[in-house]
Structure 1
Amino acid sequence: MGATPSYHSILEVRLSKYFDKPTDMRYDGTQDPQEHLMAFESRMNLEGVVDEVRCRAFPVTLAEPGIRWFNALPQGSVRTFADITRGFLVQFTTCIKKAKHRINLLGVTQRNGEPTIKYLDRFNDECLEIDGLTDSMASLCLTNGLLNEDFRKYLTTKTSVDNAGNPKCGERIHQRRRGQSSGGGQQAAARLSSYSSDRKRGKA
């Protein structure tokens, strides 16, 4: 057997014939390594495999330049999956997505000629990239970016107050987060539809 980064105890473990190798997962050095690791760990947890199997299975998910990095590791240096995780994150640290700050939302404004519903959807998508975003901050940034002056006034007058006394702009337009679906865009569209209806009835 040729030189390999994996310790002999990893090479000696036998894979079950029922083990589903993660050949459909491919890391090519352009994605976020953290996301790849989380997806791999979820897959392995579903399979219910031990640490040694994770070590043997992980290289299967690597394309260039990932597999080149793994094969260049010192012989016998991989004893646990934690060894792989640490080295993998260090090697591809520049690909880790940087979380956006709440201040970035102030730059998301409605473009000239852009339909309000398109702006609401685009704003909601930006909210998905920001951790720790509060209702009041999202509402402030949303109304700040609106060119539709009438709709801005409508949102302001329709602002409700929660039990803690904090203002929130109707439904939580930024509710969605990565890996979740809350219909935030649909909620924003519903408020625009409500605004349009009120205008027709002369209430807005």
Structure 2
Amino acid sequence: MPHSLEKAAPDSYADSPFVDAISVVAMPKGFTNPNMTLFNGTTDPFDHVSQYKQRMMIVMVVGHVKEACMCKGFGSTLSGPALRWLVNLPNRSISIFADLVNAFTQQFASSRKQQKHAGDLYRIVQGANEIIGEYNTRFYNEKVAVRECDVSTVVEVFRRGLHHESDLYKQLTMHPCHSFEVVQEKAAATIRLEEDILARASIPSMPSVSSTSAIEKLSRKQSTGKKEERYRPYGRGVNRIDNREEN
């Protein structure tokens, strides 16, 4: 036998997970909820909270209602299971935004991304046909995911991951850097060179250096060949001497 639908209590409109000091605060005139991807419980809850805080920083809210706005606006960024979780929180169980964040991240801790460590950076190696720009982007994206990592370790891992025949590897080996910012400056210079070479190679009317050199070598060879035919050290004179001996 199917269960009967649960009916809402007459005073359910007053249900709120927030204490009265938060729930009764009127939202400021002109307040708009932050425009961001809704959290449904499948993505990293810490990333969602960080993004929410950043979006709320640009909202003009007076100091004494900031806490209430942070709490009451958070529900507009949830959907599906996450929104049901918020609605089902015990009445008046949240008194500050920190309590809401702690309960939220604990509830969806299983969706948190795996913590990156410095050792994970050793897995990033430049491919045989991978340009410096692609390698640098992959490395940087992994680096920012590592929360704590020694600068010298990052610099050394970046150098080791480069192909041993690349010019950037040789530069960083001969002239070691002590900051990742300097490494990025040298990488940027190499990337500009790569982009320029690729751009020049895409122009069919412009001969490359190698082809130009080949043309010059061929011209010199042909010119040298003609001179050899014109200025032979011997020639008809030898034939004349042979003819005289025969006579």
Measure how far apart 1:101 and its partner are. 1.3
Aligned to 2:242: none
Aligned structure 1 segments of 4 or more residues deviating by more than 4 angstroms: 167-170, 192-195
Residue segments in structure 1 that go unaligned for 5+ positions in a row: 161-166, 174-183
User: Is 1:18 paired with 2:17?
Assistant: no
Tell me which of 147, 152, 176 is aligned to 1:159.
176
Is the Cα–Cα contact under 8 Å of residues 41 and 108 in structure 2 kept in the other structure? Answer: yes
- More helix per residue: 2
Q: Deviations over 1:71-123 (max 9, x none)?
A: 11122322332321121011111233343111111111122322343223322
Aligned to 1:188: 187
Aligned to 1:110: 126
- Alignment length (residue pairs): 180
Q: CA RMSD in A?
A: 3.1
Aligned to 1:126: 142
Whole-Å Cα distance in 1 between the matches of residues 17 and 187 of structure 2? 52
Is the Cα–Cα contact under 8 Å of residues 118 and 149 in structure 2 kept in the other structure? Answer: yes
Q: Deviations over 1:122-154 (max 9, x none)?
A: 222222222343443223212322234253333
The TM-score, its normalising length taken from structure 2, stands at 0.60
Tell me which of 36, 52, 63 is aligned to 2:68.
52
Is the Cα–Cα contact under 8 Å of residues 110 and 145 in structure 1 kept in the other structure? Answer: yes
Aligned-pair identity (%): 28
Aligned to 2:154: 138
Residue segments in structure 2 that go unaligned for 5+ positions in a row: 1-10, 197-208, 210-247
Q: 1:84 to 1:140 in 2, by over 3 A?
A: same
Q: Within 5 Å, which residues of 2 pair with 1:54-133?
A: 54-133=70-149
Q: 1:83 to 1:143 in 2, by over 3 A?
A: closer
Which stretch of the first structure deviates more once superposed, 36-45 or 96-105?
36-45
Aligned to 2:206: none
